[in-house]
Structure 1
């Protein structure tokens, strides 16, 4: 199989899992993040990005792993350990950038994977293992820094206050939250209309992610086109980007509780859209991380953390 065929297979497998969750009334991108926040590579200390962050968070919860830290097979060996017998790794995705001619040799990707400069993004898959799937290494994890409710809200407000210039105007009033691209304004109900301050900020994050698509920022709307109904392709993708981007910001600020309501119609709508486009969730997660990174500089390079050194177990 070439790179794109492997990518399509991963997309189908992941989308199947997401749809199965939706049919049980669960939404992968609404899942709360654990105490350690975004999943990390234990060897490098870097956060995983985009789709990988969402999927590894889901895998951590699904299998009851103690922490969202992962390693490649080679990194396990370099640290003097072994993958436990019978353990199955998790596929994650990395994109390599080529010009069009180079990309054709690497897998023949479509224009969907080409940017406006004619560069092609070719997917490559890697397998990682959670540290709970490894033996022979004495893993040293950093202490969990629990935040009080006030600290979480203060962190949320810093994200809002430090939105890069030019920032959209945030207005309050009415009972609906939305972003108006033409006016570049975010409309929010008053805080008292929300069940909690966390729910208010999660909703505000959703609208601020939308705002990153403006021409003065990431110019995502020019790439994706415009649509105004949930069933429309571009509208659905943009909504998924906003929901996933808001989830990243919730993880970044420390919001852990599920703050979104999942109606039957909402769940059925996403099942239908994902069945039609098996790659939508992966592409949306990539753009969502880019949007969150724009707001808070949430990049792998700047998120590198020094972890305690692992030692080979005696």
Structure 2
């Protein structure tokens, strides 16, 4: 039998190369303010939000293509809804992680043939609702009216979110950074920002770093020094954490400096490891979830003190 020489599709490599091509243009498209319909996150056809790397990828693709709908679905899912993908439309690749057991008898854990957990990754293709004809109106929600914010003034729900987290924060100077040695975040005052949304975007980035220590999420990429690969990996996690947290609260990721060196951080990591964006998006999702839980715990504690 003659075997096909067509190379097997590598979703990790394809997605990583797509991201590299975008970054080599010198842009971070996910930093642009956006909502698709009434949602700040891409949604499955069921209305369930995507998380982790798929959230990041579909957010980026929604923005770059200018889609007005937050909904994504497979060709088959559209067909079930009596709709069809328009001819010539291109799909977007997303990934799925799962696990299965193989071999052995579960009652004999010490046996060489004991069951093993096999983790796997698969990919599938989805289309945005804007690429599909015949969908019910609910898949094309009306755009959300953007809120107006006063210059240099705190935005109440965002400020309350961060204030509720039990962390040391000093508002001083012109630089934003997290100092592990004293477990403290340093931030410029909000008055130094032309747009208060940028203030919260920067603060979210630093809070992303704040989740790293052993007594929190214990995230370790090795000895991180300014400019090295370990440092670059942590910067990607903090950036993606700010993206995910911004979707939750209503701001976009932001840093005080956006230069070639910052883009080089991303490119160096992505070009050396096709698994990187998937691992770091998962780490960023954990960081985001940790901060949301910490803020909610802080609010509960404050309410108990008042009572």
Same fold (TM over 0.5): yes
Deviation at residue 252 of structure 1 after TM alignment:
1.8
Aligned to 1:219: 218
Calculate the TM-score normalised by the size of structure 2: 0.77
Cα distance, 1:6 vs. partner?
A: 6.9
State the distance in 2 between where 1:154 and 1:262 align.
27
- Between the aligned partners of 1:173 and 1:271, the Cα distance in structure 2 is 32
- Give the 5 Å matches for 1:73-222: 73-98=75-100, 121-140=119-138, 141-143=140-142, 144-149=144-149, 153-163=155-165, 167-221=166-220
* C-alpha distance after superposition, 1:86-112 (max 9, x if no partner): 32221111211356x67xxxxxxxxxx
Map 1:29-44 to 2 at 5 A.
29-35=30-36, 36-41=39-44, 43-44=45-46
Q: 1:266 and 2:262 equivalent?
A: yes
Gaps of 5+ in 1: 103-117, 299-314
Structure 1 residues 269 and 168, CA, compared in 2 at 3 Å: closer, same or farther?
Answer: same
Q: Which runs of 5+ in 2 are unaligned?
A: 1-6, 104-115, 295-307
User: Which residue of 231, 242, 246 maps to 1:246?
Assistant: 242
Aligned length: 270
| 1:154-199 CA distance string (max 9 Å, x none) | 2321320233xxx321112233221123422111122233333222
Aligned-residue offset at 1:241: 0.3
Q: Which has the higher contact order (CA 8 A, sep 6+)?
A: 1
Q: Deviation at 1:297?
A: 5.2
RMSD in angstroms over aligned alpha carbons? 2.8
CA–CA separation in structure 2 for the residues paired with 1:258 and 1:161? 19
Q: Specify the structure having the higher radius of gyration (Cα).
A: 2
The 3-state SS of whatever aligns with 2:155 is helix
1:231 aligns with one of 201, 224, 228: 228
Matched, 1:279 2:278: no
Mark the CA change 1:136 to 1:191 in structure 2 (over 3 Å): closer, same or farther.
closer
CA distance in 1, matches of 2:282, 2:158: 22
Q: Are residues 69 and 76 of structure 1, via their aligned partners in 2, closer, same or farther at CA, if it must alter by over 3 Å?
A: same
Deviation at 1:65, TM superposition (A): 1.7
